[in-house]
Chain A
């Protein structure tokens, strides 16, 4: 965080900010500058690099004009077999000011590491474990980093687009997928 938010005249609490105002506000108060997404709402997202995420997350939750106290959803995304990135979408909501923001973090498939926000929003605990389970993205600093839905000895990350189904698991034959109705 760079400066006191009240220093540049933002004393009053804003009841509702839209996406562009939120990005402007973050740019005014934060050392990293974000360029607004050019697409229209509700598809507008704030793209963040993993190294800034922890600091920005604290700012988003604690700043009195933003107060994103509620994390609605965390979604893992595989952009496709050809694409070299995996993504994570964080949907934030403020119970105080009733505004919303989507933060998107992309990481390369070769080294999928994102700092964990499990201590900031406790809800992220299980959602990050689920994304690790399904996509193999490692959340650094997570205190209980295990698989959650699949067995602990499962191999591979099923929601990746290039996932290949195993033929057997502990001697149990996995049924073949039927391409069309028979």
Chain B
């Protein structure tokens, strides 16, 4: 594994194993997470994650509220990419009910989802830099993320928990001047990606800390159900927006960036990080195309009754959020409340493989690996 110990006599350096607790309150755990790390000297021999500190009974709540009332709860699962969570739920509900939404709604949804993806990747990149000791890029990322949050505030009044994408439509139309502001943001933002590359991506210290560290092979990633940028970092060209297009993603031209092992091995922390940087460019591309093609006139709601009552049946539908495949398994018994609603969270599966990929590395590398997986505890604990 990680450290070249094959030439050493392991019994000579083998000491007593020590249990080290990282968290539950620790800046590098990105939330309330406890990692019980078993160490032999500086080398990690086993990691046991303890989760559930943020458990808010999401699925039990959903069985006791109506279908429309579920949407604000999905916001609070992945609280840095709420638009994408709303989007996933709306897509699942529309598949269950078999309804078509207007063309304009599709475009609005894609635009806000891709903007939120950019904001979420900003947070991932910034805090990853912070974890391995680079403080400045974090401030640059938050400077630009702020502009997206301002756009969303203009759009729906909220900065983090939007409750914007509803079943059959969106809550408001774009306000006057919003489209121009998004264009303005994209023009401002595109050259900034180069700034991140100069500051962090090709920084010698950053590469030393992340390249070749925490390699996640493709077959292990698939077996663990790891998805999104973490899976693509392992060199698997898999993106639901391309492979199983939902909404109108099949109308847009964009690439799927994958990890190539440019700085080390395919599937290391640097690859997972760099996939996110490249996805920023792709999201800008998609947003521009959606803005260009968006019909300016039209309604933003499909014709729906006041109380949603889906027909009896069940559906499993998944969409691509900034963290990977977000799945909703919904069972309807014909009443206005869901009979069963399961949220399959991408961060949950990403965290489950940490023992597999961090074993054999040093304690400092565990922090880098955890940062590169980009987990959100709200979504893991639900």
A contact set with B: CB distance below 8 Å? 39, 42-43, 69-73, 75-78, 89, 91, 95, 98, 102, 121-123, 125-126, 134, 148-151, 158-159
Q: Which residues of B contact A70 (CB under 8 A)?
A: 222, 225
Query: What residue in chain A is nearest B344 (Cβ atoms)?
Result: A73
Contact of B224 among A102, A122, A159 (CB under 8 A): A122
Contact B318 A72 (CB under 8 A): yes
Shortest distance from the beta carbon of B231 to any chain A beta carbon, whole Å: 10
Q: Find the residue from B225, B331, B348, B382 having the highest chain A CB count within 10 A.
A: B225
Q: Does B192 contact A (CB under 8 A)?
A: no
Contact B342 A149 (CB under 8 A): no
Contact B344 A159 (CB under 8 A): no
Contact of A95 among B222, B342, B348 (CB under 8 A): B222
The CA-CA distance from A71 to B325 in the complex, in Å, is 12
The CA-CA distance from A98 to B51 in the complex, in Å, is 33
Contact B52 A149 (CB under 8 A): yes
Q: A73-B327, A149-B382, A159-B60 are in contact. List 19 more A-B contacts (CB 8 A).
A: A42-B315, A42-B316, A43-B315, A70-B225, A72-B327, A73-B329, A75-B340, A89-B314, A89-B329, A91-B316, A98-B243, A122-B225, A123-B349, A123-B352, A125-B352, A148-B51, A149-B52, A150-B55, A158-B57
Query: What residue in chain B is nearest A39 (Cβ atoms)?
Result: B313
The CA-CA distance from A125 to B340 in the complex, in Å, is 22
Shortest distance from the beta carbon of B225 to any chain A beta carbon, whole Å: 3
Shortest distance from the beta carbon of B348 to any chain A beta carbon, whole Å: 7
Contact A121 B223 (CB under 8 A): yes
Query: What residue in chain A is nearest B244 (Cβ atoms)?
Result: A98
Shortest distance from the beta carbon of B305 to any chain A beta carbon, whole Å: 22
Contact of B223 among A39, A78, A122 (CB under 8 A): A122
B contact set with A: CB distance below 8 Å? 51-52, 55, 57, 59-60, 95, 220, 222-225, 236, 238, 243, 313-316, 318, 325, 327, 329, 331, 340, 342, 344, 348-349, 352-353, 356, 381-382
Query: What residue in chain A is nearest B351 (Cβ atoms)?
Result: A126
Contact of A72 among B313, B316, B353 (CB under 8 A): B316
Contact B223 A77 (CB under 8 A): no
Contact B225 A77 (CB under 8 A): no
Shortest distance from the beta carbon of B126 to any chain A beta carbon, whole Å: 28
Q: Which residues of B contact A75 (CB under 8 A)?
A: 329, 340, 342
The CA-CA distance from A71 to B316 in the complex, in Å, is 13
Contact B381 A149 (CB under 8 A): yes
Contact B55 A149 (CB under 8 A): yes
Evaluate whether A158 and B60 lie within 8 angstroms (CB atoms) in the complex, with A69-B223, A73-B342 already known.
Answer: yes
Offer 16 A-B interface pairs, CB within 8 angstroms, sorted by A: A42-B315, A69-B222, A70-B222, A72-B225, A72-B327, A73-B318, A73-B329, A73-B342, A91-B316, A91-B327, A102-B316, A121-B225, A122-B220, A126-B348, A151-B52, A159-B60
Q: Which residues of B contact A159 (CB under 8 A)?
A: 59-60
Shortest distance from the beta carbon of B46 to any chain A beta carbon, whole Å: 12
The CA-CA distance from A39 to B315 in the complex, in Å, is 13
Shortest distance from the beta carbon of A54 to any chain B beta carbon, whole Å: 17
